[in-house]
Amino acid sequence: MIIGPNLFPLVLSRLHRWTMGHSVTFFDNDFAGRIAQKQTQTARAVTDVATEFVNVVAFALASILGSAAFLVGIDGWGAVAMLLWLVSYFFLIRFFLPKIRAYSAKRASARATVTGQVVDTITNIKTVKLFAHSEYEDRAALGAMMGFRERALDFGRISTWFRFSLMFVAGALPVVLIGGTFMLWREGQATAGDIAAAGAIAMRLSQMTGWVSMALMGVWGSIGEVEDGMATLSPAHSLTDAPDAEVLGRVAGRVDFDQVSFAYGRAAGGIDAVDLHIAPGEKIGIVGASGAGKSTLVALLLRLYDVEKGAILIDGKDLRAVTQESLRRNIAMVTQETAMFNRSARENILYGRPDASEDEMIAAAKAAEAHDFILGLEDHMGRKGYDAHLGERGVKLSGGQRQRVALARAFLKDAPILVLDEATSALDSEVEAQVQDALLRVMRGKTVLAIAHRLSTIAELDRIIVLEAGHIVEQGSHAELLAAEGTYARYWNRQSGGFLGTEDPEAEEAAE
């Protein structure tokens, strides 16, 4: 009653906190559902081990010690017989439980894979339906389930042999104790009452061994699940704060890339020897074909990865010398792929600054042209307006609506550095014009890095950086770059409907 309800959230909270500390690569390499399953599985298994140990092992030890003391009072040979029986009993436990632990770990891993596969399908259900791949996803899920079935059968086989062996040993105890006491009675060394007492003890211990054995099997099975979960969740964090990392206060906004190279651990890709210096309050646009390194540049600024060569500094401080949390508090970002929580519109916007007032939150929504459509929202629970929940990843909103909520969140954060990665790409022309006006207001006094394929959205910025194959090949104002008749001018002239064509055959996302 006390241990279980308290231990489970304690373990789960620590596992969740540790998991959140992993780099984005950790999450990129696994199923979200599988990671969540491992957290819950491990916390539950640790709780089961603790509660069963108290509930079963302590009780069993007390019963065995009490029975041994009672048998010594009858005859020492009875106690010796019980001791020999216990030796054989513990030998079986020692032989089988490590195997049960190993098979349990494999079963837990297979179960988590099933969860990961199913969650992955459900998360992308619209894509599944649009491509008419229900049968394909069904086969993928069945394959994962078949793997779980095989591991469960393996666990069942070893469990059955364990139980059979213990039942055999448990059945031998009454024969040994009652038979031994009966022989003593025949020789006049024991009474009929002693036979009855030995029989009662033998039957009690024999019955208890079955219960204890099942409990121990559950405990060792839980230990196997703990080991499986920890193998996934407990690797050391690959991206950590330095031991003496300082907390970065609100910065002026100077950003320096000093000969920065990063290729995701490969020989090529990413960016190479980028030297870029951005003054406080300067607004730069970043353009280039897909795969040129634009997203890599931003990811390194946010320290989602550590540079392989060179250094990135904000206000003269190396990013690796400050805490990640304080760094990211100084940067607001709006991406093309907008992330939403399955929470209310209010909570999603307040994520930018949780301590903001209601008036500040609404002002940010209005600045992002989101206020009017939010007032018209209603979810399946009847919650309306800012209280309406947006669905997982914001699926109840259109792409443009999600992007406006994300903009409102960034406006509310009011960080000194603003990163825009195709921030208005999902908006229609009329709304985009309105949001662009809002963006211009929000940009005042901030250092801005804006990635865009639609070059018209960045033509008015202070400076434009042109990337090709991870190198800066041109930089200057819109007019200067057009006059230079180089790469940027070629992009501008090739635009159709205001979009930049892709010349690199490898998509940037694949490269990164």
pLDDT at 512 over 60: no
pLDDT at 446 over 80: yes
H/E element, 277: strand 271-278
pLDDT at 330 over 90: yes
Per mean pLDDT, which range of 259-268, 292-301, 308-317, 345-354 is the poorest?
259-268
Q: Are residues 221 and 280 located together in one domain of the fold?
A: no
Q: Are residues 127 and 217 located together in one domain of the fold?
A: yes
Over residues 189-199, mean pLDDT: 75
Q: Are residues 114 and 146 located together in one domain of the fold?
A: yes
Q: Are residues 79 and 215 located together in one domain of the fold?
A: yes
Q: Are residues 131 and 188 located together in one domain of the fold?
A: yes
| pLDDT at residue number 76 | 63
What CATH code is carried by the domain that includes residue 302? Answer: 3.40.50.300
Per mean pLDDT, which range of 15-24, 125-134, 159-168 is the poorest?
125-134
| pLDDT at residue number 510 | 40
Query: Does 371 reside within a domain?
Result: no
Closest CA to 487 of 497, 476, 498, 496: 476
Q: Which residue has the higher pLDDT, 488 or 202?
A: 488
* H-helix segments, 280-398: 294-301, 324-329, 345-350, 358-367, 371-375
Over residues 367-391, mean pLDDT: 89
Query: How many domains are there within the chain?
Result: 2
**pTM of structure:** 0.69
| Domain end (from 233, 260, 285) | 233
pLDDT tens digits along 103-114? 888 888 888 888
Residue given tokens 């179960």 in the structure block: 111
Q: Are residues 171 and 55 located together in one domain of the fold?
A: yes
Distances (CA, A) of 53 to 60, 96, 219, 226: 10, 18, 8, 15
Which residues share a beta bridge with 474?
A: 466
| Domain end (from 190, 205, 233) | 233
Select the highest-mean-pLDDT range: 86-90, 257-261, 287-291, 407-411. 257-261
Over residues 55-65, mean pLDDT: 74
pLDDT at 443 over 90: no
Query: How many C-beta atoms lie closer than 10 Å to residue 356's C-beta?
Result: 17
Is residue 502 exposed (0-12), middle (13-18) or buried (19+ Cβ within 10 Å)?
A: middle
Query: Does 336 reside within a domain?
Result: no
Domain housing 204: 10-233
Please give the mean pLDDT across all residues of the chain: 83
Q: Which residue has the higher pLDDT, 45 or 170?
A: 45
Confidence of residue 490 (pLDDT cuts 50, 70, 90): confident
Which residues share a beta bridge with 472?
A: 467
Q: Do 234 and 46 form a contact (C-beta atoms < 8 A)?
A: no
Q: Are residues 176 and 305 located together in one domain of the fold?
A: no
